[in-house]
Amino acid sequence: MSAWLQPEPSNWWPIVDDALMEDVGSGDITSGCLAEELMFSWKIEAQQDGFLSGVAIADYLLGPMPGDPDSAWIEADRADGDFIKRGDVVLKGKCLARRVLTCERTVLNFLMHMSGIATLTSQFVQKVEGTGARIVDTRKTLPMLRSLEKYAVRCGGGHNHRMGLYDGVMIKDNHIAAAGSIQKAVDRVKEYASHMTKIEVECETIEQVEQAIAAGADIVLLDNMDPFQMRNAVSKFKGKVLLEASGGVTLDTVRAIAQTGVDLISVGALTHSAPGMPFHLEAS
């Protein structure tokens, strides 16, 4: 179940710490009503069916403090990527009551958001089962959450597109217009880019696809093409470059798109419109 790579903790620790501080601010003025030494046994339950993502963050916020193994006990009953049903306990533990009540909302906010993305992704993935097409995400992510959101996509069975503007070249309509032509844009990139970099070109017509391949693109994005055009592109170019469909992809349309034979289908909604998946924390 660990085929996917966890995001580097040093990438998510700061945002988790910051999220907690954003909530706590100058202090949790409610938790002071609890005795300082009071311990509290808790469990986190899913309130809806879906795919789990974010266990490591709960672990980080509610597990033992660094260097003090006795400060808390925690146990994960389920792992990231697991399908869980409403009412399933996913984590349980025990620590100072003040601490768990202060951290509760931050923990649940991460679990809700990441599991929501994993769950929506899994719905797309199931739709294209057997077609050979990969569901991939986009850069339509929320500020500073990209690593976690792209990880959640992997937990739902999806794959990742480039992480950002730095680890892959994507030449779009505006680049082409400004550079003069696909050929000129690609040539320009090859002058300065590392030999480790792949180049993708966004195309709206079959002619553009031809130009992109001639110019040396590694991947072609079929932008808002209809299934007929996509099928045409697949029949001509599959195997020469990777073909990625994009635009107008919904749970209703995705299977038809996959059946055209494209290699990849990118879906912005995975990260920008996944509804939160609810969990609650209670005494156990």
Please tell me whether residue 193 binds a second copy under the rule CB under 8 A: yes
Residue number with CB closer to a second copy (143 or 228): 143
Report, in Å, the least distance between residue 203 CB and a second copy.
15
The reply to whether 198 belongs to the active site is: no
- Which residue in 74, 179, 206, 234 binds a second copy (CB under 8 A)? 179
Q: Is 23 in the site for a second copy (CB under 8 A)?
A: yes
Relative to beta strand 50-51, strand 279-283 is unpaired
Q: Using the rule CB under 8 A, which residue among 55, 189, 221, 245 binds a second copy?
A: 189
Closest to a second copy by CB, 19 vs 222, is 19
Q: Does 18 contact a second copy by CB under 8 A?
A: yes
- How far apart are the C-alpha atoms of 74 and 4, rounded to whole Å? 24
Q: Is 251 in the site for a second copy (CB under 8 A)?
A: no
Query: Is-catalytic flag, 140?
Result: yes
Nearest to 267 by CA among 115, 163, 147, 161: 161
74 makes contact with a second copy (CB under 8 A):
no
17 binds a second copy (CB under 8 A): yes
**Token couple for 220:** 């072609």
| Of the residues 70, 85, 192, 239, which one makes contact with a second copy according to CB under 8 A | 192
How far is 67 from 59, CA to CA, in rounded Å? 15
Report d(CA 89, CA 213) in Å as an integer.
51
Order of strands, sheet of 264-266, starting from the edge strand that comes earlier in the sequence? 134-136, 264-266, 242-246, 219-223, 199-203, 169-171
Per the annotation, the verdict on 105 as an active-site residue is: yes
Q: Is 253 exposed, middle or buried (0-12, 13-18, 19+ CB in 10 A)?
A: middle
Angle between helices 227-237 and 206-215 (to 10 degrees): 30
- Kindly name the residue from 43, 172, 198, 255 that is annotated as catalytic: 172
Is 218 within 8 Å of 199 (Cβ atoms)?
yes
**217 touching a second copy, by CB under 8 A:** no
Among 62, 125, 264, 265, binds a second copy (CB under 8 A): 264
**x-marked contacts with a second copy along 81-120 as a string, rule CB under 8 A:** ----------------x---xx--xx-xxx-xx--x----
Active-site residue among 223, 226, 231, 255?
223
Q: Which of residues 119-178 bind a second copy (CB under 8 A)?
A: 134, 136, 139-147, 154, 159-175, 177-178
**Residue 28, CA distances (Å) to 58, 98, 101, 171 in order:** 19, 9, 9, 48
Active site residues: 105, 140, 172, 202, 223
